[in-house]
Amino acid sequence: MNHWIVAPIVLPAILAPFIIMVLRYHLDLQRIFSVAGVVGLLGIALTITAQATTGEIQVYELGDWPAPFGIVLVLDRMSAMMVLLTALLALPIVLYAIGSGWDDRGKHFHALFHFQLMGVCGAFLTGDAFNLFVFFEVLLIASYGLMTHGGGAVRLKAGVQYVTYNLLGSTLFLFALGTIYSVTGTLNMADLAVRVAEIPPEDTALLRVGAVLLLLVFCIKAAVLPLHFWLPASYANAPLPVAALFAIMTKVGAYSILRVYTLAFGPDVAVTEGLVGTWLQPAAMVTLAVGAIGILGSQHIARMVAFCAITSMGTLLIAISLFSEVATAAALYYIFHSTLATALLFLVADMVMERRGGAIAPTAPMPQTGLISALFFVGAIAMAGMPPLSGFVGKLLVLDASRGAPDATAVWAVILIGSFVTIVGLARAGSLIFWKSHDAQVVPPPEPEDEEATDIAVAAPEPHPGLAFSSVFGAVLGLILLTLFAGPALQYTSKTAEQLFTPDNYISAVLGREE
Amino acid sequence: MEALVASAVGVMTAAGIFLILRRRTFPVILGLSLLTYAVNVFLFATGRLALDAPAVLNKYEDVPYTDPLPQALVLTAIVISFGMTAVIVMISLSAYLSSKDDHIDMSASDSTDAPGEDA
């Protein structure tokens, strides 16, 4: 058995308690271990991705219990890719949190960060639906702590909403799993696929209910309209480096939709035929539209970036809801891009907020305006999907994949108009924040925040601004590399999509049946 | 018995949802607890209801048994929901103490404020 598969879960699971119990009072050591842990995770992720590129689906049986009875972890191309993305995202964020001093504004940042990574990696690797629930809870519990990191009345209030919404989601998840278990008698995803295919379509009312409930749960995580209400308030009020990390959490929802609805409730399974595509696609289109309108209407940079996250989820889920191999390959490329782009914009937004407050209105110029505005410009180009960055490639792939689909016209219209509105909204925000401050005609309104802002600058100076900047440049570098190597990346995602749409290999690998 | 269990799940879910739609944290937390009770009973029933049956197979004679897996699932769910309730109580308490207001919804002033400049 290949023990590398369990390593992305075990490493943070050991490191996080170690940081809490041994290094509790030593921030410097915490930082060193935390960065070392993320680098180690990146190494592990690269190793397992290299193993997954062979195309073999590897199974790790926990406690050596055979598949339908014990819990299994499954390494295929998609899970390896998502673990790699998690590690790649975590590295600039942890460096930024150190560089900007965010980890010093509350307790246990690094420990919670690693618990969050553990939950995310676990959710990507598990092959058992109930274990997926458990890892969702692990990542959510860590996210509750991170979301309220640093305290403050507004943030705590947003935190209560966030926790309440997610507890409701967890309850719904359990109802869905219970319903599915009561019909099929299994929760192992591969076994589920076999059992679901065997059930005659006429007595599956209960199973369909379970499938729809499960889709609702994943849609809550993925912030699909009309279940997106938690996202803007939570992300905008969370510490922004944490919000950048949360960019991967909405992708956990998208990943779960792809995994469960290609494997167990696949598009050609009689029970749930056409169920997901029919409902998901209009919802995804409305998500994109509302996100774009939200970008245009936001008065605050953090809220605006939160709506950017919603638009990118809209685009992603449109691609997923097409449920074809080409579209899924495009969606997987877009997952990589949109996670990095959202995180980049959140980090830039944090730099802006630290220096001048987050209101999208003219104020006095801030220090390092040139550099920050350049970074914002790059992030905005990537997010809106303008050439030359990877957002353009991603959206082009999605549009191309939807050509033969029945609703191609609607998809094209929504994506193109949505991108246009996004460009307008980001341009408006950028010019108000960065240009108007130099305009002699504009008298900056008296800002009550100014005094407060200088107070903060005195109270919490950036310990290592250079580190913060270089970590943001690291995220930019990631986007540039993703653009330059779009060919190999797309080749990988195409093969991943091919693997997803031949679930028989997955099933026989997990259940240990010979072909 | 089926009717009793089903109606218990139904009533607890309905009451839970009703309480969650209140606007203050205390009823909302009560509602969440009721919902988790409902889901625990529901999970318990997904292995089919059986009276006086052990949760183990007997390999010597064919006696009725009850499905052990939902019981394991319920145990996990209980532990998680217990922990979660503690977390939300703590977060709501600190939110109440810092803003002197236990409304669950964000007021208009909250959303236009700069998000939590840390004190």
Residue A388 lies in a domain: yes
Q: How far is B61 from chain A (nearest CA, A)?
A: 23
Question: Residue A403 in contact with residue A395, Cβ under 8 Å?
Answer: no
Q: How far is A198 from chain B (nearest CA, A)?
A: 20
C-alpha–C-alpha distance, residues A209 and A66, integer Å: 29
Q: Which among B25, B35, B119 has the least Cβ separation from residue A171?
A: B35
Residue A280 lies in a domain: yes
Which neighbouring-strand residues pair with A74?
A59
Rg of the Cα trace of chain A? 22
C-alpha–C-alpha distance, residues A210 and A204, integer Å: 10
C-alpha–C-alpha distance, residues B99 and B118, integer Å: 14
**Own/partner pairs, A31-34, CB within 8 angstroms, 24+ separation:** A31/A98, A31/A103, A31/A110, A33/A110, A34/A94, A34/A98, A34/A110, A34/A113, A34/A114
Closest CA in chain B for residue A102: B118
pLDDT score for A405: 80
Confidence of residue B107 (pLDDT cuts 50, 70, 90): low
pLDDT score for A360: 83
User: Which run of H or E residues covers position A61?
Assistant: strand A58-61
Please list every residue in chain A whose beta carbon sits closer than 8 Å to the beta carbon of residue B106.
Answer: 154, 157-158, 161, 233
Closest CA in chain B for residue A353: B114
Residue A212 lies in a domain: yes
> Are B80 and A179 a contacting pair at CB < 8 A?
no
The number of folded domains in chain A is 1
Look at the block and give the residue holding tokens 């996202």: A231
Record the tokens describing residue A421, joined without a space: 């509105």
pLDDT score for A453: 46
C-alpha–C-alpha distance, residues B35 and B33, integer Å: 5
Residue A362 lies in a domain: yes
Question: Residue A392 in contact with residue A485, Cβ under 8 Å?
Answer: no
Q: Which among A153, A237, A353 has the least Cβ separation from residue B98?
A: A153
Closest CA in chain A for residue B101: A157
> Are B118 and A150 a contacting pair at CB < 8 A?
yes
Closest CA in chain B for residue A137: B80
Q: How far is A161 from chain B (nearest CA, A)?
A: 6
Q: Which residue has the higher pLDDT, A338 or B114?
A: A338
Q: How far is A457 from chain B (nearest CA, A)?
A: 11
Q: CB under 8 Å to A152, separation ≥6 — which residues? A: B98, B116, B117, B118, B119
pLDDT score for B54: 81
> Are B114 and A137 a contacting pair at CB < 8 A?
no
Q: Which among A130, A141, A155 has the least Cβ separation from residue B87?
A: A141
> Are B91 and A167 a contacting pair at CB < 8 A?
no
Q: Where are the domains of chain B?
A: 2-50+65-104
Residue A490 lies in a domain: yes
Kindly report the number of other CB atoms within 10 A of residue A284's CB atom: 26
Residue A275 lies in a domain: yes
Q: CB under 8 Å to A22, separation ≥6 — which residues? A: none
Q: Residue A233 sits in which domain range?
A: 3-445+464-511
Kindly report the number of other CB atoms within 10 A of residue B38's CB atom: 23
Q: CB under 8 Å to A296, separation ≥6 — which residues? A: A421, A424, A425, A428
Kindly report the number of other CB atoms within 10 A of residue B26's CB atom: 14
For residue A73, give the 3-state DSSP assignment.
strand
Q: Which among B39, B110, B112 has the least Cβ separation from residue A174?
A: B39
> Are B46 and A148 a contacting pair at CB < 8 A?
no
Report ipTM for this prediction.
Answer: 0.89
Closest CA in chain B for residue A183: B46
User: Which run of H or E residues covers position B70?
Assistant: helix B69-99
Question: Residue A83 in contact with residue A251, Cβ under 8 Å?
Answer: no
DSSP letter at A72?
Answer: E
User: Is B109 at the interface with chain A, CB within 8 A?
Assistant: no
Confidence of residue B105 (pLDDT cuts 50, 70, 90): confident
Question: pLDDT in tens for each of the 515 residues of chain A?
Answer: 788 999 999 999 999 999 999 988 888 899 999 999 999 999 999 999 999 998 889 999 888 888 888 899 999 999 999 999 999 999 999 999 999 888 888 888 999 999 999 999 999 999 999 999 999 999 999 999 999 888 888 889 889 989 999 999 999 999 999 999 998 888 999 999 888 888 887 777 888 888 889 999 999 999 888 888 889 888 998 999 999 999 999 999 999 999 998 888 877 776 666 677 788 889 999 999 999 999 998 989 999 999 999 999 999 999 998 888 899 999 999 999 999 999 999 999 999 888 888 888 887 777 788 888 999 999 999 999 888 888 899 999 999 998 888 888 999 999 999 999 999 999 999 988 888 777 656 555 555 554 444 444 444 555 778 888 888 999 999 999 999 999 999 999 999 999 998 888 888 888 886 44
> Are A144 and B87 a contacting pair at CB < 8 A?
yes
Fold topology of B2-50+65-104: Helix Hairpins (1.10.287)
Q: How many CB pairs under 8 A join A and B?
A: 136
Look at the block and give the residue holding tokens 């922990």: B83
User: Cα–Cα–Cα angle for A507, A195, B60, nearest 5°?
Assistant: 105
Residue A113 lies in a domain: yes
Closest CA in chain A for residue B37: A171
C-alpha–C-alpha distance, residues A394 and A381, integer Å: 13
Q: Which among B91, B104, B111 has the least Cβ separation from residue A148?
A: B91
Record the tokens describing residue A220, joined without a space: 């809550």
Alpha helices in A267-384 (DSSP H): 275-297, 301-321, 325-356, 369-384
pLDDT score for A263: 87
User: Which run of H or E residues covers position A471?
Assistant: helix A465-484
User: Is B113 at the interface with chain A, CB within 8 A?
Assistant: yes
Please list every residue in chain B whose beta carbon sits closer than 8 Å to the beta carbon of residue A148.
Answer: 91, 94
Question: Residue A85 in contact with residue A339, Cβ under 8 Å?
Answer: yes
C-alpha–C-alpha distance, residues A312 and A331, integer Å: 11
Question: Residue A244 in contact with residue A343, Cβ under 8 Å?
Answer: yes
C-alpha–C-alpha distance, residues A315 and A394, integer Å: 10
Which neighbouring-strand residues pair with B101?
none
Question: Residue A184 in contact with residue A192, Cβ under 8 Å?
Answer: yes
How does pLDDT run across B85-97, given as a tens digit for each residue?
Answer: 999 999 999 989 9
Q: How far is B35 from chain A (nearest CA, A)?
A: 7
Please list every residue in chain B whose beta carbon sits closer than 8 Å to the beta carbon of residue A108.
Answer: none
Cα dihedral value A177, A178, A180, A186, nearest 10? 90
How does pLDDT run across A446-498, given as a tens digit for each residue?
Answer: 555 544 444 444 445 557 788 888 889 999 999 999 999 999 999 999 999 99
Query: Best of B20, B24, B43 to disrupt the A interface by mutation (most A CBs within 10 Å)?
Result: B43
Q: Which among A137, A152, A158 has the least Cβ separation from residue B119?
A: A152
User: Which run of H or E residues covers position A495?
Assistant: helix A486-500
Q: Which among A170, A175, A357 has the least Cβ separation from residue B114?
A: A357
Q: How far is A49 from chain B (nearest CA, A)?
A: 31
Q: What is the DSSP string of A324-335?
A: SHHHHHHHHHHH
Q: Which among A141, A157, A456 has the least Cβ separation from residue B95?
A: A157
pLDDT score for B23: 83
Closest CA to A120 of A77, A146, A83: A83
C-alpha–C-alpha distance, residues A324 and A288, integer Å: 20
Residue A202 lies in a domain: yes
